[in-house]
Structure 1
Amino acid sequence: MISFEYPLNERIRSLLRLEDLYAKMLHFSRSDGALEHHVALLTLFEILEVAGRAELKVDLMQELERQRQTLMGFRNNPEISEQALSGALYEIEQASSSLQAMAGKIGQYLRENDWLMAIRSRAAIPGGVCQFDLPSYHYWLKRDANARRHDLDTWMAPMLPIHEGLSIVLRLLRGSGHAEPLVSKGGCYQHTMSGRAAQMVRVVVEPGVAAVPEISANKYALNIRFLTPDTHGRARATERDLRFELTFCSL
């Protein structure tokens, strides 16, 4: 199954972007290759850009506290596993403590590193990090893989509490809805919101179905139009009926 997620507010949009960036950074940083470590560092710069919003840490802490209070209400509920509940509460409390321990502006320690900021500035120029532009960076890329990875871990570590917090919030968000099997007539589907509050929708299609949902939404309606993907040109609207699953997610 292929899942397509569509955020319905800017806060969830930012969290989904950060989730994607963190996944890429952690993936490439675990490798041994110089090019992979180069991508990991550039992705860290992207995270710095997206996470630079002053209210991001506060938003995450407030949402985690709200979820903690909600879970506390399930204490002594015979239908809820106390072990699972305690584990979830512990995870939330650890993430909140790590976020609370983040001092100052997010990523300020990176901004104060002139060497890293020189790389970040040159990376914005196509081909700007060639060896003749940044010989010291070229030297770093030629170092032992373990030495490079140690540096990357040092630079990434202070940013990881953001990843821990958003991972919990998005996991709870994804688990909040129930998938409904539907059929799009002629490749189109419309749902009247009728005051329904949602922060994200998920559209799931079979992997063998050549269809990509184009989603638009406002407070009145959700519209989905399925397109036939074309990697050599412009996607075309499909006119056939398609089965899919739709989930409204809200915390």
Structure 2
Amino acid sequence: MIQYEFPLSERIRSLLRLEDLYERFEHFSAKTAGFEHHFALQTLFEIIEIGARADLKSDLLQELERQRTTLEALRSNPQISEDALDRILQEIEQTSARLLEVTGKFGQHIRENEWLMGIKQRMSIPGGVCEFDIPSYHFWLNHEAMVRQYDLVAWMKPLLPIRDGVAIVLRLLRDSGKTHQYVARNGMFQQMSGGKLVQLLRVDMPDELIGVPELSANKYAINIRFTSPGGEVRPKTLDCDVTFTLTYCNL
């Protein structure tokens, strides 16, 4: 199955973007080639840009506290594992404590590093970080991989509490999902929402089906159109029935 996630609020959209960027950074920073560490640093700058929202930290703390209160109320539920509940509550408590220790603007240590900010500025120019543009960056990229990895880990470390907070919130959001199977007749599906607000919709479809879901939704209706993948041909709605699962996630 191929899975597609569609956030229906700007807040969840930002969290999903951050999750993707943190995973990308982890992937490239674990490599050893200079070009791979270039992309790791570029990803780090993107994380700083998205995470610069002044209310990101407070939003995460408020959501974690709300989830902690909700989960604590489940202790008397015989269908809930006490051990699993204790683990997630401990994780929330530890992550909240680390978030509270974060001071200043998100990524301020990067912004105060003139060398890094010079590289960031040049990266906005196509081909702007060649060796003749920033010789010191060329030197860094050709340094030992272990040295570069040490630097990348050090630059990322102050940003990890946000990563952990994002991971918990998204995991709880996904775990809240209620899944149903539907059929899109001639590639089209519509369902009235009845005023219900959903934060995340997940579409799962067979990987052998050559098609891509396009989704639009509000509190009144959910519309999904399954189209051809595109390429050189303009995408068009599939002319066959498509069986898929739709998961509704809401914190």
Give the TM-score taking structure 1 as reference length. Answer: 0.98
Q: What amino acid is the match of 1:215?
A: L
Question: Residues of 2 paired with 1:248 and 1:25: CA distance?
Answer: 29
Asked if 1:116 is matched to 2:116, the reply is: yes
Question: Residues of 1 paired with 2:234 and 2:16: CA distance?
Answer: 26
Asked if 1:185 is matched to 2:185, the reply is: yes
Question: Residues of 2 paired with 1:103 and 1:97: CA distance?
Answer: 12
Q: What amino acid is the match of 1:85?
A: L
Query: Which residue matches 1:232?
Result: 232
The equivalences for 1:163-174 within 5 A come to 163-174=163-174
Query: Which residue matches 1:69?
Result: 69
Q: Is the 8 A contact 1:181 1:245 kept in 2?
A: yes
Query: Which residue matches 2:162?
Result: 162
Shift of 1:144: 0.5
Shift of 1:175: 1.0
Q: Deviations over 1:34-56 (max 9, x none)?
A: 11110000000000000000001
Give the TM-score taking structure 2 as reference length. Answer: 0.98
Question: Residues of 1 paired with 2:111 and 2:234: CA distance?
Answer: 40
- How many residue pairs match? The answer is 251
Question: Residues of 2 paired with 1:127 and 1:170: CA distance?
Answer: 35
Shift of 1:196: 1.2
Q: Is the 8 A contact 2:228 2:238 kept in 1?
A: yes
Query: Which residue matches 1:104?
Result: 104
Q: Is the 8 A contact 2:6 2:202 kept in 1?
A: yes
Shift of 1:82: 1.2
Shift of 1:79: 2.3
User: Gapped runs of 5+ residues in structure 2?
Assistant: none
Q: Is the 8 A contact 1:76 1:82 kept in 2?
A: no
Asked if 1:50 is matched to 2:43, the reply is: no
Question: Residues of 2 paired with 1:24 and 1:56: CA distance?
Answer: 20
Q: After TM superposition, which residue ranges in structure 1, 4 or more long, deviate above 4 angstroms? A: none
**% of aligned pairs identical?**
54
Q: Tell me, what secondary structure is at the counterpart of 1:179?
A: strand
Question: Please, what is the CA RMSD of the aligned residues?
Answer: 0.9
Shift of 1:239: 1.6
Q: What amino acid is the match of 2:116?
A: L
Shift of 1:230: 2.5
Please say which of residues 75-84 and 93-102 is displaced more in the overlay: 75-84
